[in-house]
Amino acid sequence: MKNQISRDINRSFSGHSEASQKEGLKIEITEVLEMFHLYRPDVSYIQGMTYPIIVLTLVTGKVKAFRIFTNLVLCSQFFRKLYTFESHFMLLATKVFQLLLFDYHP
């Protein structure tokens, strides 16, 4: 899991020269994602969790980022279903995305 998290973080920072030089931030984000994986192995880690964690860590620090992200995933039906790939929800979310994309970018 550590390797996957590391690859995803490096991918998330590619093309951002200032951000890619912040090794301390990368370490903090890695720690938050690893803590979440250990805390909720039923949800674990998937690609895409990196982005909200980056924002939360930058704004609040790693401890609060972990707390906020965990509460989002556990208390929000939307995030829980999104990160556990509930098939019915994923089909619905895909249809909504397609409709919005067509409406705003015909």
Q: What is the pTM of this model?
A: 0.74
Q: What's residue 23's pLDDT?
A: 81
pLDDT in tens, 40-58: 988 888 888 898 999 999 9
Q: Is the dihedral of CA 88, 82, 72, 33 positive or negative?
A: positive
Cα 73–Cα 36–Cα 89 angle in degrees, nearest 5: 30
pLDDT band at 12 (very low <50, low <70, confident <90, very high): confident
More confident residue, 95 or 85: 95
CATH for the stretch 2-75: 1.10.8.1310
Q: Which residue has the tokens 């979310």?
A: 93
Q: What's residue 19's pLDDT?
A: 52
Average pLDDT, the chain: 85
Q: Is the dihedral of CA 70, 23, 59, 63 positive or negative?
A: positive
pLDDT at 20 over 60: no
Q: Where are the domains of the chain?
A: 2-75, 77-106
pLDDT at 59 over 80: yes
Distance CA(57)–CA(32), nearest Å, equals: 8
pLDDT at 16 over 70: no
Q: How many C-beta atoms lie closer than 10 Å to residue 95's C-beta?
A: 10
